[in-house]
Homo-oligomer: A and B are copies of this chain.
Amino acid sequence: MKRFAVVGHLAVTSGTFSLNDLPGSGGRMDVLCRSVNSSFFLSHDLRRDVECYLILCGEPGPEKTVLFRGAGVRHLSPDERSSAALIKKALSIPCGDEFRESTPGVYVRRGGLSRLLAEIPFAVLDEAGEDVRAAPDLPENYLLSDHHNFTAEEEASIAGYPRYSVGPRSLHADHTITVLLNEMDRRES
């Protein structure tokens, strides 16, 4: 299983955001929607061996985590509005301490990064990390940030984690996932 977790620093935790204004009313929810797209879509196929965790840290709080599982996800189209609609639905159901399924393959629970870090051994995608092309072996699980850098508190919680880079330019989270999956595809083929 490959896992990507993206921290949405401003991403709202309520399902009341507008599908017509993902950047504004969603707290840059568009970044997370594109990360879902990058995690799963192949041409005329879905990557069933991927999970994508969206860590929503915005208003009104407290933090929630939305999980897309490639193995079971349905009703997901490539456009941003499609994944946004599934996130909106997940944020509209009662949120408990354990993952609860809101639509097929999409889940939501309370808690954010610290909880996820206690469960899954992540590597961090970071421009200063080791080039993924040069790494002898690649981890399965990766943590990324949205358009904001990790906060000081987040950085403290991931100090010492292995760090990888996908190249010489600083890319958006979704583009980083695409490049990384291409490297993994090549190693598996």
Contact = CB atoms under 8 A, between A and B. Distances in A.
Interface of A: 19-20, 22-23, 30-31, 34, 37-38, 41-45, 77-82, 147, 166-172, 175, 178-179, 182, 185-186, 188-189
A167 B185 contact: yes
Contacts of A30: 78-80
Task: Name, among A42, A182, A189, the residue most crowded by chain B CB atoms within 10 Å (CB to CB).
Answer: A182
Contact of A31 (B78, B172, B175): B78
A36 to B, nearest CB: 13
B22 A81 contact: yes
Contacts of A78: 30-31, 34, 172
A82 B30 CA distance: 11
Given A42-B169, A168-B188, 13 more contacts: A20-B20, A22-B79, A23-B77, A31-B78, A41-B172, A41-B175, A42-B170, A43-B171, A44-B170, A80-B81, A167-B182, A167-B185, A179-B182
Contact of A168 (B19, B38, B166, B185): B185
Contacts of A22: 79, 81
A90 B43 CA distance: 28
Contacts of A79: 22-23, 30, 80
A175 B39 CA distance: 11
A175 B38 contact: yes
Nearest to A189: B168
Given A42-B170, A43-B147, A172-B43, A20 B179 contact: no
Contacts of A179: 178-179, 182
A37 B34 CA distance: 10
Contact of A19 (B20, B45, B186): B20
A45 B185 CA distance: 28
